[in-house]
Structure 1
Amino acid sequence: MATKVADQQLDKALKQLSYGFYIVATRKGGEDLETRDEDWVSAATVSWAMQSSFHPPLITIAVQKDSDLNETIQKAQSFSLTVLGKSDEKLIKQFAEQTEVDYSNSKVNGISYKEGETGAPILDCGIATLECKLEDALTTPGDHLLFVGRIVSATSKDGQPITEADTRKHYEGTSPRS
């Protein structure tokens, strides 16, 4: 059993890792869903994303197990990861809450999107976007699932990525509120 001092040290050590802000988006057609009869777009802010292979190019993201995003990625077998820039800070909160989709205008939470080659929504924001085909989903005893995606396309713009160090928003340590 860990001591309070050890727990404090773990919390402090975890907060020393670098964390960025990203939006993960996915879409599944209604014809393929059992619980819905219409297309379903899910998008959310995530902090835990990293490159995990050079060849083939892979990224790994962590998504809450009890989230709609988790379920939709598994059904769609694809997702996009948008890297938020320093000018995109307002989008962190906007995508951390309920997803609102305007299908007739191809907008999610007010941001335009187009369909990528995998069917994943490619959002018109951020400084880079990676579109991925799901390679693997790793279940852990923790509260997040790990998705490994093979990058099938990428776009990039000028700008600097926003990190937790740039904001008052934090999702690290031993609890989401630590």
Structure 2
Amino acid sequence: MANEVANAQLDKALKQLSYGFYIVAARKGGEDLSSREEDWVTASTVSWAMQSSFHPPLITIAVQKDSDLHETIERAQSFSLSVLGKQDEPLIKQFAEQHEVDYSEQSVNGISYKEGKTGAPVLDCGIATLECKVEDALTTPGDHLLFVGRIVEASSRDGEPVTEADTRKHYEGTSPQS
């Protein structure tokens, strides 16, 4: 009984942290991937991202260990992070599910991208984009791995970031459905 109370309190406390929504994208040639035989672009919704250093400018993202995104970032050693604005809310679900890449049009789920300085796809969406080279990867006993990226390029547009408080989408607490 005491453990249930502690878990309920933990769940409630974790939900008090503020979470945004981001799309993380990476690209790597198929010859370097164990799960693919061709070039691969992947992009997925994440909500666990934060600035983690002033000098040098670093961000840390949490990526599910058993995902294509994890393998692609690990092999490519680079990624881009698009900060979603309130107007981008439909993209949260769209990129959380299966994605479609059109290599001839350079688009993912209908969102165009260009190749960034690191080779990572830079999506044409959101209110800010950070392009990063991986500085470190921290494996934890949990279901997500932490990638620390050094920001090598940044851009921003007008708009307000969308957060979990603005939506009914939740990826927080003690389980993804809590």
Q: TM-score, normalised by structure 1?
A: 0.97
1:85 — aligned with what? 85
Q: Using the alignment, how far apart are the partners of 2:141 and 2:32 within structure 1? A: 29
Aligned runs of 1:79-158 on 2, under 5 Å? 79-158=79-158
Q: Over aligned residues, Cα RMSD in angstroms? A: 1.2
Q: CA deviation at 1:35?
A: 4.3
Q: Using the alignment, how far apart are the partners of 2:170 and 2:151 within structure 1? A: 27
Unaligned runs of 5+ in 2: none
Q: CA deviation at 1:33?
A: 3.3
CA distances 1:54-96 after superposition (whole Å, capped 9, x unpaired):
0000000000001010000000000000000000000000000
CA distances 1:129-151 after superposition (whole Å, capped 9, x unpaired):
00000001100000000000000
Q: Using the alignment, how far apart are the partners of 1:46 and 1:30 within structure 2? A: 24
Q: Using the alignment, how far apart are the partners of 2:133 and 2:87 within structure 1? A: 28
1:75 — aligned with what? 75
Q: CA deviation at 1:31?
A: 3.8
Q: CA deviation at 1:99?
A: 1.9
Amino acid at match of 1:80: S
Q: TM-score, normalised by structure 2?
A: 0.97
Contact 2:33/2:72 (<8 A) preserved? no
CA distances 1:19-75 after superposition (whole Å, capped 9, x unpaired):
000000000023433543321001000000000000000000000001010000000
Q: Using the alignment, how far apart are the partners of 2:24 and 2:44 within structure 1? A: 6
Q: Using the alignment, how far apart are the partners of 2:17 and 2:35 within structure 1? A: 39
2:42 — aligned with what? 42
CA, structure 1 residues 36+159, in 2 after alignment: closer, same or farther (shift >3 Å)?
A: same
Q: Find runs of 4+ consecutive structure 1 residues off by over 4 angstroms.
A: none
Q: Using the alignment, how far apart are the partners of 1:62 and 1:77 within structure 2? A: 15
Q: CA deviation at 1:107?
A: 0.3
Identity rate of aligned residues, in percent? 84
Q: Using the alignment, how far apart are the partners of 1:45 and 1:65 within structure 2? A: 14
1:56 — aligned with what? 56
Q: Using the alignment, how far apart are the partners of 2:139 and 2:166 within structure 1? A: 31
Q: Using the alignment, how far apart are the partners of 2:52 and 2:33 within structure 1? A: 30
Helix, strand or coil for the counterpart of 1:155?
A: strand
Amino acid at match of 1:29: G
